[in-house]
Amino acid sequence: MGPTEALPRTDRLRLRPWSTRRDDLARLTDLYGRPEVTRWLGGGPTVTPVELVERWRRVGDTDPRYGCWAVETGEPPRIAGTVLLKPLPGGVGEVEVGWHLHPDSWGRGYATEAARAVIERAFRLGVPEVYAVVRPGNEASVAVCRRLGMTPLGRLRRWYDVELETYRLMAPTVVE
């Protein structure tokens, strides 16, 4: 399996690129326009939804292991939010996993399920470790980090110029 490996699916979720279709842009605008979401992100996007989709597309273009994907649930499909895997800004190769879910999708385990699928794919594609950074007070995301088995590293101000709770998960070692 190489970097062109298909995006993961789970029993309940399908991950796919965000598109510039009207329904995707409407859901993206709704999701990132909600204060209960953006308070944990340091604010909403500073670009238009179309520009945001294009920016996210470029993440995967630079390295196909990475991306920012829509998390779809059910039939008919509905976007629950975003899951991402990308290099941390200003880092030295650290890779971030993150999730941003619409409030109507909170409390269903979608963040953990989507993040786990992306992490497993990343490990299969040779990413040695992943980090999650969480704003202090975001207990829901801290709980996701715990369910993923991530190790807390404390508060760091390394990547986003703000102090964040930092978690790390190492790829499993293969014993032969």
176 is a domain residue: no
Q: How many whole angstroms separate alpha carbon 125 and alpha carbon 135? A: 28
- Read off the pLDDT of each residue in 97-103 and give the average, rounded to a whole number: 97
Q: Give me the count of residues in the chain.
A: 176
Res. 14 pLDDT band, cuts 50 70 90? very high
175 is a domain residue: no
| Encoded amino acid at 73, one letter | T
CB 120 within 8 A of CB 102: no
Contacts (Cβ under 8 Å, ≥6 apart) of 39: 135
Q: Which domain holds residue 37?
A: 13-170
4 is a domain residue: no
pLDDT of residue 129: 97
What digits encode the pLDDT tens for the residues 158-176? 898 899 999 999 998 865 6
What digits encode the pLDDT tens for the residues 55-98? 999 988 888 899 999 999 987 889 999 999 999 998 888 999 99
145 is a domain residue: yes
pLDDT of residue 46: 86
6 is a domain residue: no
pLDDT of residue 136: 95
- Read off the pLDDT of each residue in 32-54 and give the average, rounded to a whole number: 91
What digits encode the pLDDT tens for the residues 45-61? 889 999 999 999 998 88
CA 140 to chain centre: 14
pLDDT of residue 7: 81
5 is a domain residue: no
Q: Is the pLDDT of residue 4 over 80?
A: no
Domain count across the chain = 1
pLDDT of residue 21: 94
According to DSSP, the residues that pair with 165 across neighbouring strands are 134, 155
CATH number of the domain that residue 110 is part of: 3.40.630.30
107 is a domain residue: yes
pTM: 0.91
92 is a domain residue: yes
pLDDT of residue 1: 37
